Amino acid sequence: MAVTNLLATSNVVKLDGVSFFSSFAGKPNHYLGRRLSQTTPRVQTLCCYRETSLKAAVKSFMVPEADTSGDSSGIGIVRFLKGKSYLVTGATGFLAKVLIEKLLRTSPDVGKIFLLMRSKDQDSANNRLYDEIISSDLFNLLKQMHGSSYEVFMKSTLIPVLGDIGETNLGIESEIAGKISEEIDVIINCGGRTTFDDRYDSALIVNALGPGRLLSFGKECKKLKLFLHFSTAYVTGKKNGTVLETPLCIGENITSDLNIDSELKLASEAVKRFHGSEEVKKLKELGFERAQYYGWENTYTFTKAMGETEIYSKRGDLPVVIIRPSCIESSYNEPFPGWIQGIRMVDPIIVAYGKGQISGFCADSKSLLDITPVDMVANAAIAVMAKHGCGGVQELKVYNVTSSSHSNPLRFGELMDLSYQHLRNSPLEETVIDLAPMNFFSSLECFNSSVSNNIKKQEGESHISILSKKGKRRLDYLVSLARTYKPYMFFQARFDDTNTTSLIKEMSMEERKMFEFDARGIDWEHYIVNVHLPGLKRQFFQGRST
């Protein structure tokens, strides 16, 4: 199996204020301190939402009539959203779906939302729209709001469009492209290949060149007000200290030695040299080697960086904003707490730990684990659209939507301590597992040895040196998981969020309530124990039943 970006995708292996003791080499790191100053009552639950709560939730998330007209204080988000039409890439992905849901719920008079989809034909695209969006439980609040007219509303508003950002002219038929260009006000680019160890040629075509193709399409749109591009907070490569909200430009903050055309040629030549399974392996290795050479951890973040430089150099006078979220996880509040799509981010570690497959991980317990709930990322994007979609944007603005710069960053050790407490009382498996606080290892070698010994014990062959084929596959998977995560498990940098903080300050109190994305308000203990882990377990059990 390929190791993928468990920090940004929905598939598995396809990545201060707290006192604690820390040590490496397999010794437990158990958080003894808790944020006792927080007074939010916590009730541990096994389910984050139920159908019976939807009617009350619908009422609480309805748009206040008083804020939909006239000159109100703040940015004017609701006013901006009224009647706007969008083109969204990556529409069936985790983030895009949450963003679409919030747009539909807070702006019932929305225009058209065109969804770029890779499908073999229109019928297939229509089926994907229904199966992956309309029928998703994510949209249960909208189902309650619209009642029997829900499907009619969704099918009249969400328009699937056959296309691919990896193709010339986005792969859209010229007549359809012309019609879309007449209507849309905002382009939202959530698309891209998110596998950490992806084939270099494929990642270049989509992540590096895709944004430029989409930008060219945007220049043909008659009334486009904003081009919104989602990147990643880790796009700046191997950095220490503070990671600034600064656009990436070759020759300025990226070495002038990097030439995208040369990288494309290099990948193309590799395709000609190799064939079959060797081709895939060699192209993955090439991507990793090139990323390391230029100062990035993996193919994903490296090619996303190239995509940003393409936007910077080719945007012309088009209004462009880049949002760089950190590790996107389950929803904090909306449309209900704990909604997640797939096993993602650090969840594979939690699952492996809860199943007794690992007793520790290669990590520094004090490293900053920068998590941002998906609903906060969607809210930030909507606020950004309202702020910059009204004309007058001259510079390319970047927003780090993160949590590490705030006064309550989450540490990896704290996450795993909370996971230990929760899973000990509410286990993943029916079989009894003697779960202990997680150990932390300073090297892959120590982790490898620990996992190997653990597998041998589980197989009842602790005295032999050779694992079974099944055991070897499990060991390879877990070690590849640790290797993928290692740069982030020892991460000590912090993300500057000056632009994001300034945006929050410009919002009215009503806007802050409706479009909350201030990470300073996250209660990590409540979120991990009562929201995220129950949501993760629901996803885990659903995956088992399919």
Please spell the DSSP secondary structure of 185-232, one letter per residue.
Answer: SEEEE------TT--HHHHIIIIITHHHHHHHHHHT-TT--EEEEE--
Q: Using the predicted structure, report yes or no on whether residue 400 has a pLDDT greater than 90.
A: yes
Dist CA 298 CA 483 (whole Å): 11
Average pLDDT over residues 257-283: 94
Q: Using the predicted structure, report yes or no on whether residue 431 has a pLDDT greater than 90.
A: no
Tens-place pLDDT, residues 40-66: 333 333 333 333 344 444 444 454 443
Q: Tokens 């802050």 map to which residue?
A: 512
Residue 430 is encoded by which pair of tokens?
A: 């029916």
Which carries the bigger pLDDT value, residue 8 or residue 301?
301
Give the CA angle between residues 28, 32, 36 to the nearest 5°: 155
Burial class for 168, CB neighbours closer than 10 Å (0-12, 13-18, 19+): exposed
Identify whether 373 is preceded by a cis peptide bond (ω within 30 of 0).
Answer: no
* pLDDT class of 21 with cuts at 50, 70, 90: very low
Query: What pLDDT does residue 53 have?
Result: 42
Helix (H) or strand (E) holding 427: none
Query: What pLDDT does residue 428 have?
Result: 86
Query: What pLDDT does residue 190 have?
Result: 96
* pLDDT class of 463 with cuts at 50, 70, 90: low
* pLDDT class of 543 with cuts at 50, 70, 90: low
Query: How many other CB atoms are found less than 10 A from the CB of residue 38?
Result: 14
- Between helix 276-294 and helix 260-273 the angle, nearest 10°, is 150
Tens-place pLDDT, residues 126-161: 999 999 999 999 999 999 999 999 999 999 999 999
Residue 24 is encoded by which pair of tokens?
A: 């490496």
- Alpha carbon 165 to chain centroid distance? 19
Give the CA angle between residues 141, 146, 148 to the nearest 5°: 115
Query: What pLDDT does residue 37 have?
Result: 37
Q: Using the predicted structure, report yes or no on whether residue 72 has a pLDDT greater than 60.
A: no
- Alpha carbon 536 to chain centroid distance? 15
Tens-place pLDDT, residues 201-223: 999 999 999 999 999 999 999 99
Dist CA 480 CA 346 (whole Å): 14
Q: Using the predicted structure, report yes or no on whether residue 38 has a pLDDT greater than 50.
A: no
Query: What pLDDT does residue 8 have?
Result: 37
Query: What pLDDT does residue 433 have?
Result: 77
Query: What pLDDT does residue 464 have?
Result: 60
Query: How many other CB atoms are found less than 10 A from the CB of residue 359?
Result: 19
H helices of 48-185, in order, are: 54-60, 77-81, 94-106, 122-128, 140-146, 150-157, 174-183
Tens-place pLDDT, residues 88-131: 999 999 999 999 999 999 998 999 999 999 999 999 999 999 99
Dist CA 256 CA 299 (whole Å): 19
Query: What pLDDT does residue 108 have?
Result: 84
Query: What pLDDT does residue 335 have?
Result: 96
Q: Is the dihedral of CA 348, 350, 353, 355 positive or negative?
A: negative
Average pLDDT over residues 163-185: 95
Nearest CA among 352, 353, 348, 357 for reference residue 455: 357
- Between helix 412-425 and helix 347-354 the angle, nearest 10°, is 40
Indicate which residues carry an active-site annotation: 300, 304
